[in-house]
Amino acid sequence: MVEPNPEADPSISVSDLSLGYPAHGGAKAFNAVEGVSLEVAKGGVLAILGESGSGKTTLTRFLSARGDDALDKGARVQLSGGDAAVLGISLRRLSRRSVTRLTAYVGHLAQDAGATLPPDLNVGDILFQPIAERTKRFDRDQLGQIVAEMMDLVGLPLSKLQEFPFELSKGQRQRVAVMRSLMLNPTVYFADEPTLGVDANNRPRIVDLLTWYREKSGATMVLVSHDIGVLEALVQDVVVMQQGRLVGAGDINEIFRNADHGYVLQLAKALRATAYDEVSEE
């Protein structure tokens, strides 16, 4: 069995990739991603931008090897054309064992992940869970120091480790979810709207956490975000999706300054006009 190669460069390679969802429950099969090609160099940070329904979430779920992570069969992502490789592993017809090996290196923050934290675990156990599920041998004290550092970065007191999700605000749950997605120290990291539900005062703390992690690990990152703070702090390269296709790609400053596609121009104006305001967490 081919092992994931953390030193692979590019870390992510996508060639003419098309993805869809099967017919299910009366709904017809449909393609959500059409003919996408891109590369992300080792240690690079790519942002995927686009309107709701443009295929961003489908693409990141598939590339992070989480395409089958849905109880509803109709919500499982299917490859319908092309290919993609992450850390040198082709994502075509991955066995469950291969998925388990790959996801040890590939982190994924699902959209609105804070809403799906295990309700029966306290924050401390939620953070340790990804590691405990994979191995019984880990240095709890060493990990505790890392957790304490992350809690400080995101502005949560250590007393929150004893609390359960229902005792936290929406924004606090999201901050816990972002920390949890980093616990396995991923080499490649996908985050779908990491600041979603976090109020304007606390969004920079998520940026601080992701910046800290990238500087510490050198991880390759793919971020889906319309938070201008996230984009400015972390991202250099951008791809823009519309209706499942790439309609723009390039340096984040150049693509918006010299946009030659109507939708890219529209998106650039929207990003400049808003700071992606959310209601207060509390």
pLDDT value at 136 more than 80: no
* Helices and strands in the chain, H and E counts: 9, 10
Burial (CB count <10 Å: 0-12, 13-18, 19+), residue 19: buried
Contact 252, 237 (CB under 8 A): yes
Residue whose structure tokens are 């959500």: 32
In the chain, the amino acid numbered 1 is: M
Task: Find the mean pLDDT for residues 171-177.
Answer: 97
| Beta-bridge partners for 251 | 237
Residues 16-29 have pLDDT tens digits of: 999 999 887 767 88
CA distance 103 to 100: 5
**What's residue 75's pLDDT?**
83
Give me the chain's average pLDDT, please.
Answer: 89
Enter the pTM of the model.
0.91
pLDDT value at 268 more than 70: no
Confidence of residue 55 (pLDDT cuts 50, 70, 90): very high
pLDDT value at 271 more than 80: no
Give the domain ranges of the chain. Answer: 12-21+31-273
CATH superfamily entry for domain 12-21+31-273: P-loop containing nucleotide triphosphate hydrolases (3.40.50.300)
Closest CA to 248 of 262, 264, 232: 264
Share of the chain above pLDDT 90, in %: 69
pLDDT value at 258 more than 80: no
Residues 6+ apart with CB under 8 A from 126: 117, 118, 165, 176, 180
In the chain, the amino acid numbered 213 is: Y
pLDDT value at 74 more than 90: no
Q: With the C-alpha atoms ordered 253, 19, 106, 194, is the resulting torsion angle positive or negative?
A: positive
